[in-house]
Structure 1
Amino acid sequence: MNDPIDLHETTGTQIARLLGRALNSFDLPDATVERLDSALAHDSSLHSSHHTARLHRSLYRHTYLLADGSPLTLWELVHTTGAPGAEGAEQRELYEEETEARLAASRLPAGFPGFAENRPGSFDDGLSPDLDTGLELLASLMAPAPEPLPPVYVLDDSADHARRVLRRAENRDRPGEQTARRLRSAFAHHITQVFGRQYRVGGKDAGFTLYEHAFLLLDGTETSLWEIEHTATPDGRHMCEVYEREGAARQAMELRARVR
């Protein structure tokens, strides 16, 4: 899968095309989008690529020369959904950091370790595998997390990172304005993937991932947001939920699995 790169395309047109096709372009910081308005030239290249029978992943690096002489780089993740019969359903996502793009790639269906697809004819009773897998999923969701390593905080516009995490939360009981105000004083953060698993439940793939976003605040205190990404939705789309407590996040995952 190759991105058609037009060598004669103007930088402004290329940026508009890049932002227009990305599913998560709204997630980019406003300051980054504003800086792109001053881009004078650009260079796009394929950074890495991985292909399997059902899933294709490519990572492109787009570098821009701005009017003030500084460079700006965006990382574009291009992938197919990995769903049966959807090999041509190409999706694109944009990230400021290569590590963020690779983390997003690891969340794709084939990126979950230990996932084994139940193939038709593998079991005599069509209900048994779904029931057994569902019970295993529920047990895994509520299992205590391994003892985490001490977080290594990164100084990288952490207040804006917290704002983006809260903005993409779709659950009604997400943290409110009081939490948002407190996180405006965040100056460093650390992201940890606490849980990630995908199973075939009810004849469909359902993936669950739990992240801890730990923040260091100006008053010296630490606080965390717990983000769930899952596909336990009627149409199989990705959904993000955010909670202030790990226990609440795990209970929400259990509920989604039961509803499923």
Structure 2
Amino acid sequence: MSDPYETTEEHLERLLGRALNSFDLPDATVERLESALAHSTSLHSSHHSAGLHRETFKHVFLLSDGSSLTLWELAHNAGRDGTTQHELYTEAAEVRLAASRLPRPGGTDAFGPSCADVDGGDPDGGGAGLDADLEILATLMATRPPAARRVFVPDDSADHARRVLRRAENADRPGPDAALRLSDAVGHQITQAFGRQCSVEGRDAGFTLYEHAFLLADRTEVSLWEVEHTATPDGRHMCEVYETERAAREAMELRARVR
């Protein structure tokens, strides 16, 4: 179920941020999600056996044009280190296929008898289950806010800026002056500006660009541009932070050219 204290923007940021394959989502889908006004989350299925677990969640978003969009999330601990990993898909068939490929004791199907279907609804996202989700979202958003307006969330924004700068691994990341200025932040907004997958040195690599916009106490606005990519020797995720969009995009282009 949805966290009542989490905004839709925060929920979406958390989903995209933790998903290992968020860069695989179609650009059109990510762009549509930028207009999400409300969301509903439900656990669709869950399986636990012999130390392995996997759950499938359905996230339904109500968009500003009145339409809806569903993301399917697969959470599992079937990786090498046993930590919980998250993957996102736009179709139920895709998440079913991903789940079926996970290691499982006894070779039972990920959506077979060993899997508990919690909501009992249509796994393709249609029918009464989706209608109920939309009814909840429509009730929550009976009065819609103006579209295409930057909304700053006053949620420990200065600490958010510190965390963004702290996880930056690039040598030319913003320095102490930027950190000092952002310590005065009273609000922030996060948007995904770019997402793409390409081949780097014969391996698939994903690139995602986020704008972290901050509202300062003097009402001025400052942005940090964060590049998340897997163009690393071991394929791990790496974060780089820049003060301008141009610098961030040039860094992505440079990483994509590595041979």
- TM class, shorter-chain normalised? 0.3 to 0.5
- State the TM-score, normalizing by the size of structure 1: 0.48
Whose relative contact order is higher, 1 or 2, with alpha carbons under 8 Å and at least 6 apart?
2
